[in-house]
Amino acid sequence: MKYTNCPKCGNNLEQYKCTTCDFVFYQNSKPTASALIIKDNKILLGRRSIEPSKGMWDIPGGFCNYGEHPEDAVKREALEETSLIVEPKEVLGIFMDEYGVDKESTLNIAYIVNIVGGEEKAGDDLEKLEWFSYDKLPSDIAFENGRQMIEAWKNKL
């Protein structure tokens, strides 16, 4: 969703700048960080228990907080959703997508991560966690960027 009115005074925005109060409002894609948790060519996915894409298999991850480094976001999200402590190993790639009913533009940073601690347990937004072999992946993977990330991972094997 692209806003056309100033968040400060409500008047029209022209490009980034308000025509009335001169407030500058940058509109960028929202960054997210995803954790591809890999072990023995298997990937850990969570079945979503909430909308959007309820019931579909998802890569652990989520939106970066304001000012949060994506490496910190990926560790935080992996911990929240899987109870595992992970360490980013490499960036798999960056994938553009849209999220939710407002089709918010997202910039999705995919990390391949290592497990360094914790006991696997599904977070509140997930029905369950399951390991999938690269050749036996479920067909109902949530979000276009999630499907692209899994394709990119498989292409590296």
Name the site residues for Zn ion (rule: CB under 5 A).
6, 8-9, 11, 18, 20-21, 23
Instruction: Provide the pairing of β-strand 104-118 with 30-39.
Output: parallel
Q: 17 or 147: whose CB is closer to Zn ion?
A: 17
- Report whether the peptide linkage leading into residue 88 is cis, meaning its omega lies within 30 degrees of zero: no
Q: 20 or 27: whose CB is closer to Zn ion?
A: 20
Which residues does residue 69 pair with via DSSP β-bridges, in sequence order?
none
Q: Least Å distance between CB 105 and Zn ion?
A: 22
Q: Which residues of 67-85 are buried (b: 16+ CB within 10 A; e: fewer)?
A: eeebbebbbbbbbebbebe
Q: Least Å distance between CB 11 and Zn ion?
A: 5
Q: Least Å distance between CB 27 and Zn ion?
A: 14
Q: 6 or 38: whose CB is closer to Zn ion?
A: 6
The sign of the CA dihedral 61, 156, 143, 109 is: positive
- From 36, 27, 147, select the one nearest 95 (Cα to Cα): 147
Q: Least Å distance between CB 29 and Zn ion?
A: 23
Q: 19 or 133: whose CB is closer to Zn ion?
A: 19
